[in-house]
């Protein structure tokens, strides 16, 4: 089959034109004169939409599924190399990675020196950051010690938990009213709910950009629960504005089959997109909104959108947190801290290995704040 190249005509459109002209060349080098076709504008846009849907289906092919499964395997901290040669290579790679993304504990003085005279704003992921990754997502409890640390952080800095979980679920774990919650990957944002003497909250819902998708999410949750019930350990979690399909308790031999079931459902919903995390596939609306956009929104809500005297610090462990790390890189303000025991590409500036190190970092931050206030 001969390759064809399609070019939208470079002729300047006439205002209000009802047609669009494209050129098609059968030569990849455009050595032969192109053929011109004129379409009604509405028909052309319909063709583009259909092509986009077909592209979405192609992107959910077997190769993509294999990529998801391999990536989930590789992201597991317990996955070990078999040979000593691989072990030496891994050690060298990890050493190199630590040089690029040093421990936030080791570089603590550097971090707080950059924050002197400025306002720190804290953003924290939940799973894998404040709580350990566990087999049953419904039992990802935060420790009492970590809860007290987060509470102390919130008393000293504006603090938000930014998570893929629903706000109701993560609040039931954290049990703190002093912080901002951004659930469903930032598609559901609420402010601190400090109740007054009449039982009314000072702040409530701040932003819900995907509210129109709630009925669709509920429908897809029901379909997936039915389609995956034959796979032992499979769990579908409704996060209100998005949903998660957990692989944590599924035999690794069945991961591909579970991913196939997710793919078969998603093909019928082009308004939804799929992303992959640590032993989880997540389905979200295709709107341009993520944890990075939630970070921007919260900084704006706090009055720091254009401030040069703010230092946002975002701590997270998952691929979805990379959107927030990237925003901080682009702003040239603040720091992203990746929580990971294994080297991985990231837009963060520093690293911590696990929630226990996150706990230590947060405690030191509170101590530093109290000390600087006492010296003022």
What tokens does 59 get? 């992107």
Question: What is the DSSP code string of 261-302?
Answer: HHHHHHTT-TTEEEEEETTEEEEEESSS--HHHHHHHHHHHT
pLDDT at 75: 60
Give dist(CA 104, CA 336) in Å, integer. 10
pLDDT, residue 2, reads 40
Mean pLDDT of 87-101: 83
Most confident listed range (59-73, 79-93, 222-236): 222-236
pLDDT of residue 128: 95
Place of tokens 């259909």: 50
Whether residue 92 is predicted with pLDDT greater than 60 in this model: the reply is yes
pLDDT of amino acid 24: 41
Indicate the Cα dihedral angle 211, 217, 222, 228, nearest 10°: -150
Q: Which of residues 45 and 12 earns the better pLDDT score?
A: 45
**pLDDT for position 277:** 86
Is there a contact between 154 and 259 (Cβ–Cβ < 8 Å)? no
- Highest mean pLDDT among 7-16, 54-63, 239-248 belongs to 239-248
pTM of the model: 0.78
Kindly compute the dihedral angle of the four CA atoms of residues 270, 219, 291, 96, in this order, to the nearest 10 degrees: -80
Of the pLDDT bands very low, low, confident and very high (cuts 50, 70, 90), residue 83 is very low
Question: Are residues 366 and 351 in contact, defined by beta-carbon separation less than 8 angstroms?
Answer: no
Q: How many CB atoms lie within 10 A of CB 43?
A: 11
DSSP conformation class of 132: -
Distance CA 139, CA 330 (A): 36
CA-to-CA distance for 295 and 278, rounded, in angstroms?
22
Nearest to 343, CA basis, from 95, 68, 67, 72: 95
Q: Say what the alpha-carbon torsion angle 84, 85, 90, 93 is, to the nearest 10 degrees.
A: 150
Q: Tokens 């990675």 appear where?
A: 97
At residue 41, does pLDDT exceed 90?
no
The pLDDT value recorded for residue 299 is 96
What's the average model confidence in pLDDT over 312-332?
A: 96
> Does pLDDT of 28 surpass 60?
no
* Contacts of 341 by beta carbon, 8 Å cutoff, 6+ apart: 77, 353, 354
pLDDT of 368 higher than 50: yes
User: 63-376 in CATH: which number?
Assistant: 3.40.50.1000
Q: What is the pLDDT of residues 176-207, one digit of tens each?
A: 999 999 999 999 999 997 653 334 445 677 89
Over the stretch 100-140, which tens digit does the pLDDT of each residue have?
Answer: 999 999 999 999 999 999 999 999 999 999 999 999 999 99
Q: Which of 365, 366, 363, 316 is nearest to 145 (CA)?
A: 363
Mean pLDDT across the stretch 330-351?
A: 96
Structural domain spans, the chain: 4-53, 63-376
pLDDT: which is higher, 10 or 287: 287
Band of the pLDDT at 87, cuts 50, 70, 90? Answer: low
């Amino acid at each position: 089959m001969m390759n064809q190249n399609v070019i939208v005509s470079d002729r300047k459109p006439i205002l209000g034109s009802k047609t669009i002209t494209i050129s098609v060349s059968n030569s990849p080098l455009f050595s032969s004169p192109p053929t011109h076709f004129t379409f009604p504008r509405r028909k052309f846009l319909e063709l583009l939409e259909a092509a986009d849907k077909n592209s979405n289906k192609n992107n959910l092919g077997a190769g993509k599924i294999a990529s998801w499964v391999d990536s989930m395997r590789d992201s597991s901290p317990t996955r070990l190399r078999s040979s000593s040669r691989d072990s030496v290579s891994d050690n060298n790679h990890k050493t190199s990675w630590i040089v690029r993304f040093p421990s936030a504990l080791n570089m603590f003085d550097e971090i707080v020196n950059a924050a002197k005279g400025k306002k720190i704003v804290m953003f924290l992921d939940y799973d894998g950051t404040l709580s350990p990754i566990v087999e049953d997502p419904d039992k990802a409890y935060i420790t009492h010690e970590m809860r007290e640390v987060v509470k102390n952080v919130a008393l000293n800095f504006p603090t938000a938990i930014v998570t893929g979980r629903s706000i109701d679920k993560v609040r039931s774990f954290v049990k703190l009213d002093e912080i901002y919650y951004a659930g469903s990957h930032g598609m559901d944002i609420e402010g601190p709910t400090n109740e007054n003497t009449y039982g009314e909250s000072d702040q409530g819902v701040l932003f819900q950009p995907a509210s129109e998708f709630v009925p669709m999410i509920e429908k897809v949750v029901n379909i997936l629960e039915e389609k995956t019930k034959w796979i032992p350990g499979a769990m579908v979690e409704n996060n209100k504005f998005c949903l998660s399909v957990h692989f944590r308790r599924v035999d690794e031999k069945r991961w591909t089959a579970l991913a196939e079931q997710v793919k078969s459902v998603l093909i019928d919903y082009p308004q939804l997109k799929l992303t992959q995390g640590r032993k989880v596939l997540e389905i979200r609306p295709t709107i341009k909104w993520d944890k990075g956009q939630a970070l921007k929104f919260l900084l704006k809500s706090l009055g720091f959108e254009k401030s040069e005297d703010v230092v946002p610090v975002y701590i997270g462990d998952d691929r979805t947190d990379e959107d927030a790390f990237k925003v901080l890189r682009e702003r040239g303000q603040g720091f992203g801290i990746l929580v990971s025991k294994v080297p991985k590409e990231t837009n963060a500036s520093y690293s911590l290995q696990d929630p226990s190190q996150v706990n230590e970092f947060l405690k030191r931050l509170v101590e530093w704040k109290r000390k600087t206030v006492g010296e003022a």
